[in-house]
Structure 1
Amino acid sequence: MGALPIRYVRLLGNLARYTLSRELAFRGNFLVKISVEVIWLGILVAFYRTVFARTSMVAGWPEDQYFFFIGCFFAISGLIEALFLENCNDFAELVRTGDLDFLLLRPIDEQFLVSCRKVDWGSMPNVLMGGAVMVASLFAMGWPFDPLRVAVFLVTFVCGTAIAYSFMLALTSLTVWMVRNQSLMEMWWLFSSLARYPKEIFLGSWAEPMAAFFTFILPILLVVNIPAAAMVRVLDLRMVGFTLLATVACVWASRRFFLYALRSYRSASS
């Protein structure tokens, strides 16, 4: 059993090298994609610098803590886009053309092959840039090194990535019945937009039920809020524990739904 994860790690590395070689075959396009991501981060930083020039806090988050939150979001969203987004977008075309048949015949886990066939290297620098923003924010606030907080941050960062991936996989699975997934991916961008902001912005009688729903029912607000808060704000171990449970539930439910969708798939030969 121990050789199985190693096999998949090795296969992912081979797929990543293959897609990198394809990206570098069109270096101009690759550099433009990276430039767009750099410009987008620069615009985001400039916007929030302007906001904090006029206020000391946003939803109770001081400037340096908020920039750590932004860096965390940028890193997680970059990781999701680099590893999974393009593959999930391609799933509709595989279903429509029947090319999914060729993937299902291969002796490898279907979910792995569907969601990890390509690596979008143009989005991978987002992870590094998000990490740079987080490190700069920690230095700016004079953050004292705390190994417990670092460990909790890394664990919850992985959990946030897994929760986001689970939502994307569930939306992608619906393509088996809907064939086109444009509206589904727009729903994904809606979910990711919710993850972009601290949950403290949801104040008031109309917003608090929505915050509770997207925290405890569809836990998209856990994706960035928990790792960022664990690192630079209050370390709430109860919410960390809930995040671990929510991650297991989301990963399990999305995989079961994906396998159920595959059983409903009518191949090109049927």
Structure 2
Amino acid sequence: MRKTGLTKQHNRKDKGGKVQNSSLHGFVSLSVCALTVLTVTGGCKLIGSGRQNQVYAASEQKSSTYTYYTDDSLPTGIAGVVSGVNATPSAGMTVKRIGISCDDVIVGQRVSKVTSSAVEMNVSDLMTTTVDNFDAQVVSHSSSAKMMSDEDYENLLQIVEAEAGTEDIKGRVLVANVIMNRIKYPEFPNNATDVIWQYIDGVAQFSPVADGRISEVIPTNETKEAVKQALEGVDYSEGALFFIQKSAAAKNNIKWFDKNLKKLFKHGVHEFYTYPEAVQQ
């Protein structure tokens, strides 16, 4: 028999007589070590995945512990807004900041002193001025007799349309002015409805009330505008308490006007009067 030469592999016998392959033994050993490392590493990650990260920051007074949860992704949406607001110091506030809200902070990393340059807005003076101006306007408007009930307003529209429906805007405003002047004058009622529908010695104060035209007319946009202006303070009346259309009036009424009243002016078809003592006052 011939001896066979060994190539690439060398066999040997151990004390027990068993033959071991050195290459196979090395491969198995390396595999076992790799699996061990992977198992230990994975276990550490699993154990530490739910654990809180704690950062200890030194302060001038004493040590403080800040506990927070970390997230691998940047905060977005509402979470991002909240994160930004929380990370922003208040106006005039000085803080010591470690890193930013999106970092896993290592102790001593990026420690900086931040002083906010934001300016606080003081609106107290502006609000006080606004409220004072509003109060002044309210007092000014309430001091004039411009507020009235729906009934008074409707009656005012009707009498202006019936008395001055053919007049211009100024002529209609003047009729409304006379009604408003009577409301403020002691001799007459203190509201538009009673002034318009007043009878003295059985005689209606306004001819459309006497003949019923006040209930037949429909106020136009021009009349509504004239009444609106009168209620807003437009006054051409010079204090007039009476007006008369002499071309359509009875002679005894014309005589009474000329004898007892003071003529102020004429506009359109109407002549406007007041009491002589009212002119002196």
Q: TM-score, normalised by structure 1?
A: 0.21
Greater Rg by CA: 2
Q: Which has the higher helix share?
A: 1
Q: Which has the higher strand share?
A: 2
Q: TM-score, normalised by structure 2?
A: 0.21
